[in-house]
Amino acid sequence: MQSQRTSGTRLGSLHTLTIGVVLLGLTLILLLALMVMNLGSRPAQPLPILSTVPDFVLTNQAGQVVRRVDLLGQPWVADIIFTRCAGPCPLMTRRMKSLQDALPPDARVRLITLTTDPAYDTPAVLRQYGERFGADFRRWWFLTGAPDQIARLAIDGLKLTAVPIPESQRTNPADLFIHSTTFVVVDAEGRVRASFETVGEDFNFTPVRRQIVRTLRQLEREPADAATTNRP
């Protein structure tokens, strides 16, 4: 009888220990899950203000006048290309198209493509170019206009580079300009908040596109004055 009681006591203790270990394991899993949730719910760090877009007057692919005020109230992404480009421009435009496709249909975001070659890139030429790449003109505008107005937006505001190549240095008749290959993100108040490279050797644009989308979502949620205390 004593042996049976001892055996029963040991089994009871083992059973209690097993339950304790299981409860401890469940508690640790719950705590870990809560930690992950808390990390995921932390607000993103405010983005810096890199520059402010000045007033400008340009024309889009539909022949409509576009000013700075027309882009206020929503974030936008800009790049600079020219339609006769023999270099990275077609790739940049395909990547802007992939960004267009990655944005939710209800996202309040504008895409802007500037030309460095306004003498050739008329609104009609830009419209044909946009159609070739599947641009949704309700969201994606292609801008041309006077060179000084393009420079005002591209160089002064967006901090993009666009430099004509001397004819003696051209390796291709269409090799007309050296220009930036970045996508610039601008907030709803016309302030540059981020810049992303889009091309390069063995360059993978997919994670960059995800980061741009995350940045745009952050700006869509950002209060109007959230960036004012985060100037560089």
∠ Cα 163 166 172 (to 5°) = 95
For residue 160, the model assigns a pLDDT of 86
**What average pLDDT does range 97-125 have in this prediction?**
94
Is pLDDT above 70 for 16?
A: no
For residue 224, the model assigns a pLDDT of 54
Q: What is the mean pLDDT of the chain?
A: 79
Is pLDDT above 60 for 127?
A: yes
**What average pLDDT does range 57-85 have in this prediction?**
96
